[in-house]
Structure 1
Amino acid sequence: MNNDLSRAFPAATLRGLWTYRDFVLGSVRREFASKTSNAVLGASWSLLSPLAMIVVYTVIFAQVMHARLPGVDAAAAENAPYAYGIWLCAGILGWNLFAAIVARAQGMFIEQAGLIKKISFPRICLPAIVVLSALLDFGIMFGLFTLFLLGSGNFPGWVFAALAPVLLLQTLLAIGLGTVAGVLNVFFRDVGPFVSIAIQFWFWLTPIVYPAAILPDSVRALLLDWNPMARLVAAWQDVLVAHTAPDWAGLAPVALLAMLLCVLALYLFRRRAGEMADEL
């Protein structure tokens, strides 16, 4: 059962993850430490980099450049001077987590070819490491952003808790898609570059740095109806900017898609586990 997902999923899979939990957590710690191991400021960069992003989007865009959300008049902008910066940060932070998981997952089996070839190694640990590493980076950035919301008087209140299921849904969508791409990438090496390019186009097809309201009606309907990340980004913006609960009904199709991708990923993972070791 240890050489792949095994026939006893999900109990066996969870048992394998629990058995190798020290390996998973240790890998996450080593990966985080390796990012700053040779830097003079060390782990401080993990705080300085996201802090710089928050300052650029919230202070420079909103205060220096006097940017504001379309449709918000000058008087309202004076009362909420950071609205545009918060709107940008909400979308970009959510997108960056999604893109980071997909990007890492599509290459994880090739990068860890040595581990894949070890019979006793449960391969399900690799997606877990990818997710936890991405969530650690995201947690640092989002923690600083939350402190900014509190300090600037823009904290949304109890509705902030609604981000937990949104985060879970987005993570499932990302790891499902990334794992499917990761398995295919072992057999068809064009998949990796294709996913990287597709993610770049996907970013600009998602209303993150521009509001969906500026798009023509036909294009807006297409993006919002068929782009799952558009709905997830809107959920982040609803909570952090409008201080309202997400459109749960609108997120239902995204949840279904995430579940289907995860099931497909597990199916491919289980069926092709032995062949993957030979290809690598």
Structure 2
Amino acid sequence: MALVFTRTLWNYRGFIIGNVKREFQSKYRNSLLGAAWNVLNPLAMIIVYTVIFSQVMKAKLPGVDDAFAYSIYLCSGVLTWGFFSEIVSRGQNVFLEQANLIKKVSFPRVCLPITVVLNALLNFGIVFGLFTVFLLVTNEFPGLAFISLLPVLIVLIIFSIGLGITLGILNVFFRDVGHFFGIVLQFWFWLTPIVYSVSILPTSLQKYIHLNPLFGVITSFQTILVKHEQPDWQSLLPALTVGVLLCLIGMRLFRKYSGEMVDEL
């Protein structure tokens, strides 16, 4: 199945790349700042959280005295979360948004979620590239540990696309899924150690935070970029396991209901 899936994507690579290019260009058409909005939106969010938590609430990372530590910790979490939420949010609506294309053109529908991932990767690459420049300028670059970000990112993509495809299919038949998950994302953000360290929470709550599949992914990014260390690879197993299961469930639902989806769109 994996071989057929890979061959299909390769045969339709032109269609996928064309979609990515078209979406990126249309997103910033008639915009004076263009792709700069990719940077300004997360930057504004980071500045607000940094000012509120580090200046107003005097938040600091336990055991870390580095002046840039909290800002890097915050950027690591916010940018990683932004990448995840973009894939899932776009994934749950991709079949609805592309309803006209699905009805008029014959192509493997699985190309659409892949387009979502590539667009999110492009946006993430632009912002994270500038963040990397910041790390270099401030002498906070993690060195060889930086390479460890790649497997962590792959785990995040697997989890995100698995959840996005599953929600996307369900959202075609039950439109409340999209609205409900928007609320879930808001709670999920604050249940993930992005603007705070899990160590400041009561011990009784910490064990529940660890059940969050994104806990290991977010903390791995933060460990690499803040502490310049290899992450705890075992902490990625929940996200990887759940992600693979969601991918299998999503593809099964897709094969079973792909015909009915066209009628529902």
How far the C-alpha of 1:69 sits from its partner, in A, is 2.2
Which residue of structure 2 aligns with residue 32 of structure 1?
A: 24
Moved over 4 A (4+): 47-58, 60-68
Which residue of structure 2 aligns with residue 71 of structure 1?
A: 62
Which residue of structure 1 aligns with residue 227 of structure 2?
A: 242
Cα distance in 1 between the residues matched to 2:118 and 2:124: 10
Note the alpha carbon deviations across 1:166-205, whole angstroms, 9 max, x for none: 0010011011011101101111111110111111111111
Larger deviation: 49-58 or 116-125? 49-58
1:103 aligns with 2:89: yes
How far the C-alpha of 1:278 sits from its partner, in A, is 1.2
Residues paired across the two proteins, number: 265
Residue aligned with 1:107, SS: helix
RMSD between aligned residues: 2.1
Q: Are the counterparts in 2 of residues 181 and 191 from structure 1 also a CA contact under 8 Å?
A: yes
1:132 aligns with 2:123: no
Q: Are the counterparts in 1 of residues 42 and 78 from structure 2 also a CA contact under 8 Å?
A: no
CA shift in 2, pair 1:47/1:234, >3 Å: closer
Cα distance in 2 between the residues matched to 1:63 and 1:190: 38
Q: Out of 73, 87, 90, which is 1:87 matched to?
A: 73
Residue aligned with 1:106, SS: helix
Q: Are the counterparts in 1 of residues 49 and 195 from structure 2 also a CA contact under 8 Å?
A: no
Note the alpha carbon deviations across 1:28-62, whole angstroms, 9 max, x for none: 1111112221112333444454555566667x579
Cα distance in 2 between the residues matched to 1:200 and 1:84: 22
In structure 1, runs of 5+ residues without a counterpart are: 1-8
Cα distance in 2 between the residues matched to 1:102 and 1:261: 12
Cα distance in 1 between the residues matched to 2:180 and 2:224: 33
Q: Are the counterparts in 1 of residues 217 and 235 from structure 2 also a CA contact under 8 Å?
A: no
Sequence identity (%): 51
Larger deviation: 206-215 or 129-138? 206-215
Cα distance in 1 between the residues matched to 2:125 and 2:52: 23
In structure 2, runs of 5+ residues without a counterpart are: none
Cα distance in 1 between the residues matched to 2:143 and 2:52: 24
Which residue of structure 2 aligns with residue 255 of structure 1?
A: 240
How far the C-alpha of 1:25 sits from its partner, in A, is 0.9
How far the C-alpha of 1:265 sits from its partner, in A, is 0.9
Q: Are the counterparts in 2 of residues 90 and 236 from structure 1 also a CA contact under 8 Å?
A: yes
Which residue of structure 1 aligns with residue 259 of structure 2?
A: 274
Q: Are the counterparts in 2 of residues 62 and 84 from structure 1 also a CA contact under 8 Å?
A: no
TM-score (norm 1): 0.88
Note the alpha carbon deviations across 1:219-250, whole angstroms, 9 max, x for none: 110111x1011111110110000111111112
Residue aligned with 1:117, SS: helix
1:122 aligns with 2:114: no
How far the C-alpha of 1:214 sits from its partner, in A, is 1.7
Equivalent residues in 2 for 1:1-280 (5 A)?
9-50=1-42, 67=58, 69-72=60-63, 77=65, 80-118=66-104, 120-224=106-210, 226-280=211-265
